[in-house]
Amino acid sequence: MDVRVRGDLSEVFDVQHFRENSETAVAILHKHLSDQSIRGLELVDPAVLTRAARALMTDESERIADFDEGRLAGILELYVRTGIAVHSPGSMGRQFSGVVPLGGVVDFVSSVVNQPSAFYEAGQLPNVAERIMAEELNRFIGWAPGSFDMVTTSGGSLANLTALLAARNRAFPDFWEQGGPGATAAGRPAVAVGEDVHYSVARAAGVLGIGEAQLVRLPLDRERRICPRRAERALAEAEERGLRVFCVVASAGSTPVGAFDPLDELADLAHRRGAWLHVDGAHGASLLVSDRLRPKLRGIEKADSLTWDAHKMMFVPAPCTLLFYRDRAHGAAAFRQHASYVFDEEPDPYTALDSGDRTLECTKRPMIMALWVLWSLYGRALFARKIERLCRTTALAHRILLEQPDFEVLHRPEANILCFRHHPAGPAGRAPADPREVHRLQVAIRDRIKHEGTFFLSKVDIDGVAALRMVLMNHQTTSEHVRLLLQAIRRAAQDVQADPGGPR
């Protein structure tokens, strides 16, 4: 061997060193997960955190610095401490959560073995696991085996973008090669979406050369679901304005309130007009695995494509998104490419599983592995039980809120998202009539709660006015925690009103 490996480089790659680092990480994570106190977020000023982070960095530039175990522990402890306390029952703000711990362990293996999964040869088991999970989950969708398709994507936004691209290419076969047609006799390409559609869908129109001006907004009913009757009218009007709506996007459930659009009716509506129905089920598709909750997605088998985030309601590390197509051929038509260094010209049993020609990513994390292993070891009941519990607790929270005269509930929760506003004087009392004042108070309450660090909530604008948004992702959150939260909100409102300029 004429090239010697220098001692320092081999030390970095030393296996015993890896083992010790792993033990350090496991000990810190163990301690972190053991803390079951009610916590939200320890928000740190970025300038302060930057100084703390910089202080942990080596100054050595010319040679590989000697390893400092204490420095590693310091970094990992800082990392763990400054996150949202997703494993605490106080975390109620976002659609991601404390992962099933074994899912994190499997993801660890993925990080070390480094098997990008867009090509079979680079990640054999991940590719097989993708096919298996596609079949397993399709049992709850109901498409004919062998006719549908599924690819994984790095998050729901990419899945929505990819689905709209496939729909665009089906409706306008020259778009890929020639670019956007502009205004033609057949009408300008357009996409119809509910008023509460996720921002990634609206953004996709801008990205794909369709244009945000060609988004047709479909009106919602009182429960913030797309109203099929009024949607039909909106589509007819769009056509009269010279738009050709090639895709209708429904939500299951929507990001703001978790509403489930009527898929059955919307599929019929879209298909009557020759349009594609895409269902953004990033949050709610997981309800399909529960016998009790599956009816929320009635008609899902009529969808042309479906976005399903396993990192939301399947509780695996983010991101892990599954994009389903009812018709295999449609998914394959999203892209048209040739690259000799990755795509083999003569398909064989191995390359038949490649998905690099069907996703925006080339190097892609084997994200399916955590989901498949949890599914394999615990079965679907793990997911069904946890989701059912979250929805039940949210229904309880709804009932509790209805009993409070100083809270306004904005909808009946269909899943595990609940939006409400606090009116300190009660709605019939001296509540401010000015919606701007209501808006400012909810934002101020949310910020103060966040800075206190006991609970973590989000906020959303409903009809232009801010509301507090609770997303129950932790099965250890109970109605008792909800009551504690309401007390914290009342205190926060008092503090805000006593000292409007005080710490937020």
According to CB under 8 A, which residues from 430 to 459 bind its own copies?
Answer: 450, 458-459
Q: Which is nearer to its own copies, 269 or 307 (CB)?
A: 307
86 binds its own copies, rule: CB under 8 A: yes
Our CB check for its own copies shows the closer of 240 and 346 to be: 346
Q: Which of 7, 144, 146, 341 binds its own copies (CB under 8 A)?
A: 341
Considering the complex, what minimum distance in angstroms separates the CB of residue 257 from its own copies? 10
Q: Would you call 314 helix, strand, or coil by DSSP?
A: coil
Interface segment toward its own copies; rule CB under 8 A; list 112-120, 269-277, 298-306, 428-436: 112-120
Contacting range for its own copies; rule: CB under 8 A; set: 231-239, 294-302, 364-372, 430-438: 364-372
Going residue by residue from 392 to 431, which x/- string records binding to its own copies, judged by CB under 8 A? Answer: xx--x-----------------------------------
The reply on whether position 484 binds its own copies by CB under 8 A is no
Beta-ladder partners of 305: 278, 325
Interface with its own copies, residue 29, by CB under 8 A: yes
Q: What pairing do the DSSP bridges indicate for beta strands 321-325 and 276-280?
A: unpaired
- What is d(CA 407, CA 397) in angstroms, rounded to the nearest whole number? 12
**Beta-bridge mates of residue 309:** 321
Number of residues engaging its own copies in binding (CB under 8 A): 179
Q: Report whether 181 contacts 189 (CB < 8 A).
A: yes
Site for its own copies, residues 366 to 395, rule: CB under 8 A: 369-370, 372-373, 375-382, 385-386, 389, 392-393
Whole-number Å distance between alpha carbons of 115 and 107: 11
Residue range at the interface with its own copies (CB under 8 A); choices 140-148, 197-205, 228-236, 429-437: 197-205
Nearer to its own copies, 302 or 481 (CB): 481
**232 or 351: whose CB is closer to its own copies?**
351
54: Cβ–Cβ under 8 A, 6 or more apart, which residues? none
Q: Is 290 left (phi over 0), alpha (psi -120 to 50) or beta?
A: beta
CA 353/CA 80 separation, integer angstroms: 38
Question: In angstroms, how far is CA 326 from the centroid of its own chain?
Answer: 21
Residue 116 makes contact with its own copies by CB under 8 A: yes
How far apart are CB 362 and its own copies at their closest, in Å?
A: 5
Contacts of 187 (CB under 8 A, 6+ apart): 239, 242, 243, 244
**DSSP state, 67?**
P
CB of 298 to its own copies, least distance (A): 22
Per DSSP bridges, beta strands 215-218 and 188-194 are: parallel
Q: Supply the minimum distance, in Å, between the C-beta of residue 437 and its own copies.
A: 16
Contacts (CB under 8 A) with its own copies, residues 56-75? 56-65, 67-68, 71-72, 75
**Among 11-19, 228-236, 422-430, 488-496, the segment contacting its own copies (CB under 8 A):** 11-19
CB of 104 or CB of 228, closer to its own copies: 104
- If one asks whether residue 238 binds its own copies (CB under 8 A), the answer comes out as no
Work out how close the CB of 302 gets to its own copies at its nearest, in angstroms, rounded to a whole number: 26
- Closest contact distance (angstroms) between CB of 235 and its own copies is 19
**Of 267 and 449, which has the nearer Cβ to its own copies?**
449
Nearer to its own copies, 101 or 435 (CB): 101
Can you tell me the distance from the alpha carbon of 233 to that of 245, in angstroms, rounded to the nearest whole number? 13
Q: Which residue, 274 or 350, is less far from its own copies as judged by CB? A: 350
Nearest approach in angstroms of CB 10 to its own copies is 8
Q: Please, which residues have CB within 8 angstroms of residue 473's CB and are 6 or more apart in sequence?
A: 86, 91, 92, 94, 95, 96, 97, 98, 312, 313, 315, 390, 416
The DSSP string of 326-361 is SSHHHHHTT-----TTTS-SS--TTGGG--GGGSS-
| Smaller CB separation from its own copies, 111 or 434 | 111
Neighbours of 485 (CB within 10 A): 24
Which pair of tokens denotes residue 460? 């959303």
Question: How far apart, in Å, are the Cα atoms of 455 and each of 9, 23, 134, 387, 470?
Answer: 45, 31, 37, 21, 10
Sign of CA dihedral 484, 489, 494, 496: positive
Task: For residue 66, give the DSSP letter.
Answer: P
Q: Shortest approach of its own copies to residue 493 CB, angstroms?
A: 19
96 interacts with its own copies by CB under 8 A? yes
Q: Does 475 interact with its own copies (rule: CB under 8 A)?
A: yes
Site for its own copies, residues 250 to 289, rule: CB under 8 A: 255-256
Report 145-174 residues binding its own copies (CB under 8 A): 154-158, 161, 165
Hey, what amino acid is at 255? T
What track of x and - describes contact with its own copies for positions 293 through 332 (by CB under 8 A)? Answer: ----------------x-x-----xxx-------------
